Homo-oligomer: A and B are copies of this chain.
Amino acid sequence: MAPSITTTHDRLLEAAGEVFADAGFREARIRDICARAGANIAAVNYHFGGKEGLYRAVLEHAECHAGGAVALDAMARLDPEDQLRAFVRGFMARMFEQGKPAWQGKLMVREMADPTEALDRVVERIIRPHWELLVEIVARVAGPGVDRESVELCAASVIGQCVLYRNCGPIIDRLSPGHRQARNDREAAQATIERTARHIADFSLGALAAMRARARADGGPA
């Protein structure tokens, strides 16, 4: 990181965002963060009171830069099906992209795999908005005949498919070599993500269509 543009406080925040997003809270080393920020180790304690304080600050910072991802309005004109496609694509992108906008997604997934003290805050501020949006979309796709519990199970199914690729990359690479995510080739990686997102959306839409049809068959004539 360029140590010239901002204050130590801000450089620390920036560097911590990257490191926490990539390594998670526990595996992140504050010596590493400080090295990237060109700051002294004691600076973390001085400015943020400790590693946890720094993590909380990064979360707050990430919340501000949430962007318009969690906006149903932006997709209001789309079919529910296309809304789901857009959601999955956006969700996947957030998990794999590089740069600041992706922090939120990565931190979210990290907190899923390995919760910290800040779990409640992360759930309420970051995860729940995404979740509510997805549930809303799934409910529309599934149609009115499907009860809330089933809708939530379906939403969880969608999330599960997405998260797998983030958390189990090494195993997927070994099991399904053709799917190897070219880590260095940005374009190839992007294409793989795109393809995977399309599969997840299609898979889920197929499932939801079946569920809708079944609900109609069950509930309609009754």
Name A's B-contacting residues (CB within 8 A).
111-115, 119-120, 123, 127-128, 131, 149-150, 152-154, 156-157, 159-165, 167-168, 170-172, 174-176, 178-179, 196, 199-200, 202-211, 214
Contacts and interface: CB of A to CB of B under 8 A. Distances in A.
Most interface-central of A114, A115, A153, A196 (chain B CB within 10 A): A153
B207 A120 contact: no
A167 to B, nearest CB: 6
- How many copies of this chain does the complex contain? 2
A176 B160 contact: no
A171 B210 contact: no
Contacts of A157: 161, 199-200, 203
A113 B210 contact: no
A127 B175 contact: yes
Contacts of A214: 206
Nearest to A132: B175
Nearest to A164: B160
Nearest to A173: B123
Nearest to A153: B199
Contacts of A202: 211
7 contacts: A115-B170, A115-B171, A153-B203, A156-B164, A160-B163, A163-B167, A204-B207
Contact of A119 (B160, B171, B199): B171
Contacts of A204: 203, 207
Contacts of A208: 206
Contact of A176 (B152, B161, B165, B209): B152
